[in-house]
Chains A and B, each alone.
Chain A
Amino acid sequence: MFPVLKIDDLQTHFFTRTGIAKAIDGVGFHIDKGEIVCVVGESGCGKSMTALSVLRLVPHPGRIVGGEIWLDGQNLMAFSEREMREVRGDRVSMIFQEPMVSLNPAFTIGNQLIEAVRVHRKASRAEAWERSVEMLRRVDLPSPEARMNAYPHELSGGMRQRVMIAEALLLDPVLLLADEPTTALDVTVQAQVLDVMVRAARESGTAVMMITHNLAVVSEIADRVVVMYAGRVVEQGTTEEIFTRPAHPYTQGLLRAIPTLSTAAEDDAPRQPLYEMGGLVPSLTDLPPGCAFCPRCSAAIDLCAAQKPPAFPLGETHAAACWLRRTEG
């Protein structure tokens, strides 16, 4: 059986006046049916661009210059724009980071939901209305019928994000791209919204590619984790593998940078300052010839600066792109 999504050596570059920014520089991973995969990494590492590349909606002046994107065994790169439109919102949908600006302020919630149904399905307005209300109910939006006639500005951030989730799952897509869906929300509602999204996705058997930089969220919901750095995948594996046996120095650094609360028993232990990764992310227009993380890596060897490391398998599901993990043979 085909994986729901398979990305192979994807390259998305931005052709700017100051040079070519390699936002995505050879990314590859896959997502199986019904699986939740978290893509983590710091801002600007290409997480969001990966999602937009899957929908082939990379904004100008960006362009996918290489690689393959397979959806259910079909190569999306070979699709016409018209065929892509049939994929978007139907088989693959997306939730954006800022619910404040991702819903159109000039149209009612109902208008936007009904539109999402009717662009892909032959449904009367009444049927689309029914389906939308039903979906709003599934994401626990209070009094869904009344909300259909509301404008986005009349809803709170958490409610808007529920609307976005409802819209994204309206047509039971095979894949949901969630770009930091809870980052912009109040901490108190983040957990609820996340919970609703994961539950609704599981119910409809939708696979989720969840972009986040919140590792606590990752440990809670992810089946597998893809760690990205400067437009490349540096490590991927099951959630357990990533959290218990991180193999790439960058992953190790990320995990060490999570603040922990000391329990009463540990109170006597001396307080440790929070770990901070030294150095900065390299400029995407001027990536080093070797490993992009090399300038910040304390374990780097000569080879790291000279040559890009391929992904070395560390197990059936675990791989790291690091020369230190080079397997003989």
Chain B
Amino acid sequence: MLAYFLKRTVLMVPTLLLVALMVFLLVHLIPGDPAIVMVGAEADPAAIENIRRSLGLDQPLPIQFIDWFGRLLSGDFGKSITSGIPVLETILERFPTTLVLTTLAMLFSVAIAIPSGVLAAKFRNTGKDYLFMLVSLIGVSVPGFWLGLMGLLVFSVQLGWFPSSGYVPVWQDFWQGLNYMTLPSITLGFFMAAVVARMTRSSMLEVMRLEYVTHARAKGLSEWTVLLKHALKNAFAPTLTTIGIQYGMLLGGAVVTETVFGLPGLGRFVVQSIYGRDYPAVQGCILFIALVYMFVNLAVDVLYKVFDPRVKF
């Protein structure tokens, strides 16, 4: 188990190198020059050139990459071009908000998705199942920003249930913070709920055809025990994989949600940094998110064993 952990962690290094390379190239492919963004297009070309030199942007790309990645390995994410603050500092300051948002979104969607997937499987091919399939189809299709705006309009502006702007971190005032987080996490989690529910439904249907489910019924167990104990535990392994993958989507989706709801998370920081052509900030954030995603996937693989004892590490 520990050996497996170590092996997987070591394997992350080459993955991280690849991600770093891709992020670096993509960021540098974005048209625009940070020096021009900083001083304006009408500035003196000599001044622009000066700034470029001070940022190391006059060097060839491969040199820039090696330089950046080398410092990265020692934990130095570089300094933001626009603010001069170390990128890692900003990431660590803003990531908790994103983590809370995505975790709440995940909890919300799992809490919705698993029961509705199980119910849909139980009532397969009936009106209830079709209604569920329709709602989940809408859930998959509706864009997050639209849902966020509609949520704000209805629940904050019209009904006044939730605040429409402002932010209190949950670690300062838990209930107040939760109040600010509810709408964003539901918005963010809605898509994931639809995907996970569909996965739960189909893997439940797959499992329910198997003989051990009939066997469980033949023991005299109630239908709910059969479904929730015998079928669900087996159907959960593929669902868990989906949840792991979807968590990555949540981290990405957080960018839009944080922007719509004005949350000071990592996602909004990325957007701001892209506008400012803040190369070190964008690269650092994306790399950090990729790292988080890798650890989530590792956690999923380890959890797998809980639901399927046949898994060997």
Contact = CB atoms under 8 A, between A and B. Distances in A.
Contacts of A102: 211-212, 214-215
B217 interface: yes
Interface in B203-261: 210-212, 214-222, 225, 230, 233-234
B308 interface: yes
A94 B230 contact: no
Contacts of A96: 211, 214-215
Interface stretch (A3-11, A85-93, A314-322): A85-93
Contacts of B307: 106
A104 B230 contact: yes
B221 A115 contact: yes
B221 A106 contact: no
B217 A57 contact: yes
Given A96-B211, A101-B211, A105-B309, A55 B233 contact: no
Contact of B221 (A52, A59, A85, A107): A85
Contact of A119 (B214, B221, B234, B308): B221
Interface in A30-83: 52, 55, 57, 59
Contacts of B214: 52, 57, 59, 96, 102
A59 B209 CA distance: 9
Given A57-B218, A89-B218, 4 more contacts: A85-B220, A93-B218, A104-B216, A115-B221
B207 to A, nearest CB: 10
Contacts, number: 71
Nearest to A87: B220
A175 interface: no
A199 B8 CA distance: 52
Nearest to A97: B211
Interface residues of B, number: 20
A103 interface: yes
B310 interface: yes
A89 B308 CA distance: 26
Interface residues of A, number: 29
Contact of B219 (A59, A88, A98, A101): A88
A88 B310 contact: no
Given A104-B230, A106-B307, A153-B310, A89 B220 contact: yes
A110 to B, nearest CB: 13
A88 B211 contact: no
A243 interface: no
B215 A153 contact: no
A120 interface: yes
Contacts of A85: 220-222
A312 interface: no
A107 B229 CA distance: 10
A113 B8 CA distance: 37
Contact of B212 (A87, A104, A115): A104
Contacts of A86: 220
Contact of A98 (B211, B216, B220): B211
A119 B219 CA distance: 8
A55 B225 CA distance: 18
Q: Which of A52, A55, A89 has the most CB of B within 10 A?
A: A89
Contacts of B309: 105-106, 151, 153
17 contacts: A52-B214, A55-B217, A55-B218, A57-B218, A86-B220, A90-B220, A94-B215, A94-B218, A96-B211, A96-B214, A102-B214, A103-B212, A104-B212, A105-B309, A115-B221, A119-B221, A167-B219
A255 interface: no
A171 B215 CA distance: 16
Contacts of B234: 104-106
